[in-house]
A = this chain, B = another copy of it.
Amino acid sequence: MAKIFEELEPIFHPRSMALIGASDKPGKVGRMFMDRFLDTGFQTLYPVNPGANEVLGLKAYPSVKDIPGPVDLAFVVLPPKAVLETVRDCVSKGVKGIIINSAGFGETGEGGKEVEREMARIAREGGARIIGPNCVGIYCPSSKLTFPMGPGKDSGSVGVVSQSGSLADHLTLIATHNGIKFSKAVSCGNECDLNAVDFFEYLGEDPETEIIVSYLEGIKDGRKFNHLIRAISKRKPIILWKCGEGEAGIRAAASHTGALAGAAPVWKGVLNGAGIVRVNSLEEILDTLYAFYFQPLPKRNRIGIISGPGGPAVGTTDACLSMGLEVPRLSEETKEKIRKVIPPAGTSFENPVDLSLASIVDKRIFSEVIRTLGREESIDMLLIIGIGGKEFHEIIAATTKDIDKPVAVSFIMPLETVVEDSKMYIESGIPLYSDPLRAAKALAKMAHYSEFRQG
């Protein structure tokens, strides 16, 4: 067990927490976090505010040093000028972890960097570790720690390391709405002390975490990171969005978190060699995560496409091929079975299987063809394209639940329709995409990762 695991475990599972800068004034950040922690029901919460006797019904303290019991974690939402002194107070109090939400440090220039170095020195000498500054802290459902937008309260298997607080916040919120449950997520901020590499090491060892999702702008210890992700991704997929490439991107990253973003070609080599699942947007993180979270890995890269109507099958086949998937011909036996259930005209019993408009009128055509392709040996995964609706979903749910290959579904319909449908798919654990191209992309990423794991 790495030293960092032992250091971080109590910070991610604190028995008590001081919210320094707690407030009951609506609109204040200190109020927003009070609301969140009261909502999750965090047990031993101490509001710290020198101007209040109590905050939202909890006894408040002028300083963290005045709190009678032990304090495992401090969450600091003060103006930047007051933070250094508070770090000193936390250290004298014996706090193990200090999350600094406040911004206005390294990202503003050299003066701020100097303060960060001083805070880190004080913390380390006093046996404490800092997360941030300029971060939204830790989301850990089993500890009742949460993010500003209030993602789900149930614990799961996805761990997140993000150098953008808002991205971590949006990612966990949207994914929660789509049935994903998280083990822990951390917003790294300016990384004056603990940094993304530490959190990767922690989540790599964390038995709760089975999939790691990450947004990175730059890495402070590239050599260690390289070594670490190679080892982790042999056991747990790492879905990574690496940003801050190119001159303007580096500029944006610098003002955002003060990170030194690296050149694109170097990163590319490192990440590809380590089997990292690369993505380029939050939507793509989510698309990819749904597939990895809900479906098994495919054995190989051979996809079966079932489409009714057939139009989208052509473009989807193009997309699959361009992403390195195979769209193999089917065995004679399988083709014969399909031929028996689909109409002779306007259809195709070859892969991609085109069920034609007939499948809209008689949705049971889908059942037979899905079951048949589920048993076809030359197919490692299924992409089903339909037109949505409850009846269609029930057929998909019933026919795919016994298939041990990954399945993704797509139908292209107006937004309003998709909202209702998506709820059914989430409940059934079937990833649903608003465009077959996006489904194909997610499946291709699974196939490439599976190849890395086996290779």
Using a CB–CB distance below 8 Å, which chain A residues touch chain B?
27, 29, 80, 102-104, 107-108, 134, 164-167, 170, 173-174, 177-178, 215, 217, 241, 243-249, 251-253, 255-256, 280-284, 309-315, 317-322, 327, 344-348, 350-352, 354, 356-357, 361, 412-416, 418-419, 422, 434-438
Contacts and interface: CB of A to CB of B under 8 A. Distances in A.
Contact of A318 (B108, B245, B345, B361): B245
Contact of A241 (B170, B315, B320): B315
A313 B414 contact: no
Q: Is the interface of A mostly helix, strand, loop or mixed?
A: helix
A365 to B, nearest CB: 14
Contacts of A352: 248, 252
Given A256-B310, A438-B283, A322 B246 contact: yes
Contacts of A255: 310, 347-348, 350, 354
B311 A165 contact: yes
A313 B256 CA distance: 9
Contacts of A80: 345
A166 B283 contact: no
A96 to B, nearest CB: 26
B164 A281 contact: no
19 contacts: A104-B346, A108-B344, A164-B314, A166-B311, A166-B357, A167-B311, A167-B312, A174-B413, A177-B416, A241-B315, A243-B314, A245-B318, A248-B317, A256-B310, A281-B315, A281-B437, A282-B412, A283-B438, A415-B418
A348 B103 CA distance: 12
A251 B422 CA distance: 32
A447 to B, nearest CB: 16
Contacts of A103: 345-346, 356
Protomer copies: 2
B166 A248 contact: no
Contacts of A244: 314, 318
Contacts of A361: 27
A252 B166 contact: no
B321 A248 contact: yes
Contacts of A281: 315, 319, 435-438
Contacts of A347: 255
B314 A348 contact: no
A381 to B, nearest CB: 15
